[in-house]
């Protein structure tokens, strides 16, 4: 990840503690001595942490006599900034680990699983050097996008584990529509499209113990603030970003806050009440970019071609072939 990689974690991190103090007293100057006392480090160490935060995009008014005052925050998912958007009692986003750069948030989240990170922990990064999609494909992940993974820990049956991806696609769409009003559609099984171009992919990696889910890492790669000119030529016909389409910047912080709220609602419904994908099936159908279209689906058993007619509460896609036979598809990649 490189020696200049910056990591921000929960309240035990000194920089996090400094930010929490300055955010709480945002209109006031806080002396270096007071920050030193609150964090338990020297004034010199406080100064070094302030400089590191400036490198990440924070801006401070400072004076040798009166201390520091926070004047500007970056649009990054720093734990202290996310905490302002996570209400009491919510699990998703309660603990956030932010990196300036990682290979893959899903991979790093898997490491945090081994460290017993709690349910709802979010691992996020400004950039990914080895972002991944389904079937091991690469994922273009420059600065400006929303790259994050959510750790899911709950005793749900393995048979409904696939609902996590489907519910996440609904949660992401809800958050985008609420924040931007853009006409986002869902492509089976796990992509979000904007006027036919991909803006988001979702990748869930699960581990089970018998018939019960042990944990899952649910990755979300959302092209939020990537300029149109930044996309490689090979992707310009297939991918876009929210900002490129709307011609205005999107607040990743606000978008993530809405996403965490929607995920909390849907995941809690699944955990506590067994309200899986079937609970939002009609909403998914209404937002579908797949149903009613002629498709080619690459499945483990081979290529299936026909018209996508429906999806059931288990997430199974039905394709009616030209001979009239309706084929249920449990997994695969849809090509229009």
In a shared domain, residues 277 and 298 = no
CATH number (domain holding residue 320): 2.30.30.100
What does the H/E/C string look like for 182-225? Answer: CCEEEECCCEEEECCEEEEEEEEEEEEECCEEEEEEEEEEECCC
Q: Return the sign of the alpha-carbon dihedral for residues 169, 173, 174, 179.
A: positive
Average pLDDT over residues 105-123: 96
In a shared domain, residues 114 and 199 = yes
**Whole-angstrom distance, CA of residue 199 vs CA of residue 185:** 10
Q: How many domains does the chain have?
A: 3
**Whole-angstrom distance, CA of residue 294 vs CA of residue 312:** 18
In a shared domain, residues 240 and 316 = no
Residue 180 pLDDT level (bands cut at 50, 70, 90): very high
Residue 145 pLDDT level (bands cut at 50, 70, 90): very high
CATH number (domain holding residue 56): 1.10.10.10
Among 286, 303, 325, give the residue marking a domain's end. 286
pLDDT at 30 over 90: yes
Question: In the predicted model, what is the mean pLDDT of the chain?
Answer: 92
pLDDT at 263 over 70: yes
Which domain range does residue 37 map to?
A: 7-72
Q: Does this model's pTM top 0.75?
A: yes
CATH number (domain holding residue 233): 3.30.930.10
Residue 61 resides in a domain: yes
pLDDT at 328 over 90: yes
Return the DSSP state at 237: T
Among 55-69, 174-188, 253-267, name the one with the lowest average pLDDT. 55-69
State the pLDDT at residue 258: 98
Q: Specify which residues 146 forms β-bridges with.
A: 222
Return the DSSP state at 13: S
């Amino acid at each position: 990840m490189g020696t200049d990689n910056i990591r921000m974690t929960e309240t035990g991190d000194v920089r996090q503690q400094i930010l929490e103090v300055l955010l709480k007293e945002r209109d006031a100057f806080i002396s270096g001595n007071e920050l030193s006392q609150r964090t338990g480090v020297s004034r010199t160490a406080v100064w070094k942490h302030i400089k590191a935060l400036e490198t990440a995009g924070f801006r401070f008014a400072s004076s040798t006599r009166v201390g520091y005052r926070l004047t500007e925050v970056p649009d990054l998912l720093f734990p202290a900034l996310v905490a302002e958007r996570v209400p009491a009692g919510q699990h998703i986003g309660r603990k956030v680990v932010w990196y300036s750069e990682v290979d893959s948030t899903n991979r790093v989240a898997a490491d945090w699983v081994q460290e017993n990170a709690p349910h709802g922990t979010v691992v996020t990064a400004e950039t990914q050097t080895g972002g991944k999609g389904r079937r091991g494909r690469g994922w273009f992940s420059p600065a400006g996008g929303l790259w994050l993974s959510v750790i899911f820990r709950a005793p749900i049956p393995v048979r409904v584990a696939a609902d996590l991806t489907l519910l996440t696609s609904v949660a992401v769409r809800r958050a985008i529509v609420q924040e931007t009003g853009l006409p986002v559609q869902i492509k089976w099984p796990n992509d979000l499209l904007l006027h036919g171009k991909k803006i988001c992919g979702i990748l869930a990696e699960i581990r089970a113990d018998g018939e019960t889910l042990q944990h899952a890492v649910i990755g979300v790669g959302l092209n939020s603030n990537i300029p149109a000119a930044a996309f490689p030529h090979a992707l310009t016909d297939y991918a876009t970003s929210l900002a490129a389409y709307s011609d205005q910047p999107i607040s990743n912080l606000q978008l993530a806050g809405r996403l965490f709220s929607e995920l909390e609602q849907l995941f809690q419904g699944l955990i506590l009440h067994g309200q899986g994908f079937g609970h939002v099936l009609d909403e998914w159908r209404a937002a579908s970019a797949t149903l009613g279209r002629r498709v080619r689906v690459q499945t483990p058993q081979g290529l299936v071609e026909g018209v996508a007619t429906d999806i059931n509460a288990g997430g199974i896609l039905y394709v009616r072939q030209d001979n009239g036979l309706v084929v249920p598809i449990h997994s695969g990649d849809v090509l229009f």
